Amino acid sequence: MATRIEKPKVRIKPITADGYEKFLAYAAIVLLCVVIVALARGYSQWAQVPAIVWAHLATILVALAFTPVMLLRRRGDRPHRLLGTIWVVAMMATAFISLFVRLSHPGHFSFIHLISVYVLIQVPLLWRDARRHNIASHRGSIRGVVTGALLIAGFFTFPFHRLLGTWLFG
């Protein structure tokens, strides 16, 4: 009689957020709150805002809202993949739409448009790394995109001559 030897199931410990990822998550929450306050303060001027800007704001709000959830919750499970897909679509849409938002210098691109190009290149690569289970590369790419494309670019939406800055500080 043959006995069957079962291999023990190896449970991979989920990667948890480190200090930098927690910082990024909380910074995204703060930025999301500041954007919401700016939008509320600019309520009287909403009708004057072009539809392309509203589309850009809508997609960035989705990405900002999902960022802390993705960084702080369990990773690698089905909900993580679903939320990650939504985040990827929001980031790609945000970057693509931003190429058509040129309010301060119509017809000209600004420095911030380079970040959009970076996102359009980097986000598909981080998606690919996630699908291939290349965790180290995926994690590094996520950190870079959140740091540069969400937080740094988000900070630069608040100088006084820009729409959200005018609404927030005006």
CA distance 51 to 57: 10
Q: Which domain holds residue 118?
A: 19-40+49-169
Look at residue 8 and tell me if it is in a domain.
no
Look at residue 5 and tell me if it is in a domain.
no
CA nearest 104: which of 163, 145, 21? 163
Look at residue 78 and tell me if it is in a domain.
yes
CA distance 138 to 19: 17
Residues of the chain with pLDDT under 70: 1-3, 7-14, 102-108
The count of domains in the chain is: 1
Q: Taking the model in full, what pTM does it have?
A: 0.86
Look at residue 132 and tell me if it is in a domain.
yes
Look at residue 153 and tell me if it is in a domain.
yes
Look at residue 12 and tell me if it is in a domain.
no
CA nearest 131: which of 81, 92, 66? 81
| pLDDT tens, position by position, 40-81 | 999 999 999 999 999 999 999 999 999 999 999 999 899 999
Look at residue 13 and tell me if it is in a domain.
no
Amino acid symbol at 49? V
